[in-house]
Amino acid sequence: MIYNLPFLTVVALIAIGMYAIIFKRNLIKIAVGITILESGVNLFLITLGYREGGVAPIFTNLPPGISPDQIPEKMVLPVPQALTLTSIVIGVAVLALILSFTINIYRKYGTLDAGKIRRLKE
Amino acid sequence: MKKLAFIAFVVFFFFLFYSAYEIRDFGNPPSNVKETFPDAKYKVTMDDRIIGKYNTTTGEWEYGAVEETGANNVVTSVVFDYRGYDTLGEATVLFTAIAGIMLLFGREKK
Amino acid sequence: MKNEEMNEGKMTVIVQTIAALLFPLALIFSFYVIMHGHLTPGGGFQGGAIGASAVVLLIVAYGVKHVEEKMSEGGFSVFESLGGLIFVVVAIFGLFLATSFLANFLVNEPIFGKIPGWGESPLNSGGILPILNIAVGMKVIGGLSAVVLILALISREGEEK
């Protein structure tokens, strides 16, 4: 059971982020929740690709003790890491866009509360 | 209404926690393609196929990223070669986000 | 004196000196990470993030107004678009010189030599991967720097009003 702790951590992160998105009214808190949910998804991808006792899939300066005949079995999976790498940069771009929209909303309505914004709209 | 949403939230994440408890062992990705695809050219998963296999007798790579893309870093070869379209789409997303921010705030700078 | 400097968004002389010392080092490290992306851990995204963090260091230490006189976010945006253009042009070269869009048409060519085997030289050339790394690094440096610069500028103006 304790060996599945990374998966449980992933679900905990996603739960925290989803709670902030659903039940919080402040737009900044919603942005923080989206970021936490994203990190949960990134951790899930990395966790899926981990192989026990594996090293990073890079052939330059391999740690000693890795011989050529045990190569595919002694390296972690590269494709989830590549997907995570793409996902992180997309997360940064989307977060910047969310924050700039939040700045615009605050200038127009003078509040960050999602419910009050809905009420102020004529 | 909010109470109902909270109950739905708790039930959903109870099932998600249960599935995280029942998922396969951590650190043991499935690597048996033989049973699923008996006619596969290489009897390995996609990731093992990308990492490659070194032939110790001939001294050459039989298949894999080092032989096909010439990069020692397998993650870079996946990002830019095997999944290059993915990177192109990601660059488009980055460009679009920055164009949106420029549209929002660019004019009122001065 | 302190309050006046704080109002302009500057930090103390110590922080400014250290930032001026660290800025070229951070840029060099970013360039190293981008150029060795196909050999060591790193690549275009990571190196670009390091280069953008160098610009953020300048903004934090010297204030937005001072940085904005030296470098504009329009220039960063042009830099980013140039990176994207290089990416697409190299990909289209793959379409004409090799089999498909984004094909690695430089690998195993005579000018780049043969791929070494196990335990030999670690100098694998990687074909078009370094060029794409540089393109993506330019994209990320330009994009993140432009975003941070314009957001800092906007928040400064909001405080003044």
Instruction: Write down the pLDDT at residue B110.
Output: 52
What is the distance between the alpha carbons of residues B9 and A70, in angstroms, rounded to a whole number?
45
What are the tens digits of pLDDT across the range A9-25?
999 999 999 999 999 98
CA–CA min distance A86, chain C (Å): 8
Instruction: Write down the pLDDT at residue A38.
Output: 95
Instruction: Write down the pLDDT at residue C161.
Output: 54
Q: Find the mean pLDDT for residues C128-148.
A: 91
Any CB–CB contact under 8 A between B96 and chain C?
no
The answer to whether residues A71 and C122 touch, using CB atoms and an 8 Å cutoff, is: no
Any CB–CB contact under 8 A between B85 and chain A?
no
Catalogue all structural domains in chain A, each as residue range(s) with its CATH number. Answer: 2-55+71-120 (1.10.287.3510)
Contact yes or no for C41 and A103 at CB 8 A: no
Contact yes or no for B73 and C40 at CB 8 A: yes
Low-confidence winner among A55-69, A87-101, C130-144 (lowest mean pLDDT): A55-69
Nearest residue in B to C80, CA atom: B95
What are the tens digits of pLDDT across the range C9-61?
778 899 999 999 999 999 999 999 999 888 888 889 999 999 999 999 999 99
Nearest residue in A to C118, CA atom: A68
Q: Mutate which of B22, B54, B82, B83 to disrupt the A interface (most A C-beta within 10 Å)?
A: B54
Q: Which residues contact B60 (CB under 8 A, 6 or more apart)?
A: B54, B67, C117
Instruction: Write down the pLDDT at residue A16.
Output: 95
Partner chains of C (3+ C-beta pairs under 8 Å): A, B
The dihedrals phi and psi of B60, each to the nearest 5 degrees, come to -135, 160
Instruction: Write down the pLDDT at residue C72.
Output: 83
Question: Quick one: how far is CA C45 from the chain centroid?
Answer: 8
C47 class by beta-carbon count within 10 Å (0-12 exposed, 13-18 middle, 19+ buried) = buried
Domain ranges of chain C: 2-160
The answer to whether residues C127 and C112 touch, using CB atoms and an 8 Å cutoff, is: yes
CA–CA min distance B46, chain C (Å): 19
Query: How far are the Cα atoms of A76, B28, B37, B45 from residue B32, in angstroms, in the given order?
Result: 16, 11, 9, 7
Reduced to 3 states (helix: H, G, I; strand: E, B; else coil), residue C85 is helix
Contact yes or no for C132 and B80 at CB 8 A: yes
Q: What is the mean pLDDT of chain C?
A: 84
Contact yes or no for A93 and B9 at CB 8 A: no
Q: Looking at per-residue confidence, does A13 or C4 come out higher? A: A13
In chain B, which stretches have pLDDT less than 50? none
| Residue C103 confidence (pLDDT) above 90 | no
Partner chains of B (3+ C-beta pairs under 8 Å): A, C
Contact yes or no for C126 and B105 at CB 8 A: no
Chain A residue numbers touching C39 (CB-CB < 8 A): 58, 60
In this prediction, residue A7 has a pLDDT band, given cuts at 50, 70 and 90, of very high
Q: Find the mean pLDDT for residues C124-130.
A: 80
In this prediction, residue C2 has a pLDDT band, given cuts at 50, 70 and 90, of low
Both structure tokens of B86 = 């993915």
Residues 70-99 of C with CB under 8 A from B: 73-74, 77, 80-81, 84, 87-88, 91
DSSP class of residue B73 equals B
Contact yes or no for B26 and A51 at CB 8 A: no
Chain A residue numbers touching B82 (CB-CB < 8 A): 79
Instruction: Write down the pLDDT at residue B44.
Output: 72
Low-confidence winner among A58-62, C23-27, C82-86 (lowest mean pLDDT): A58-62
Instruction: Write down the pLDDT at residue B54.
Output: 82
Chain A residue numbers touching B16 (CB-CB < 8 A): 11, 14-15
Instruction: Write down the pLDDT at residue C15.
Output: 92
Chain B residue numbers touching C81 (CB-CB < 8 A): 95
What are the tens digits of pLDDT across the range A66-111?
887 777 788 888 999 999 999 998 999 999 999 999 988 888 888 8
Chain B residue numbers touching C88 (CB-CB < 8 A): 88
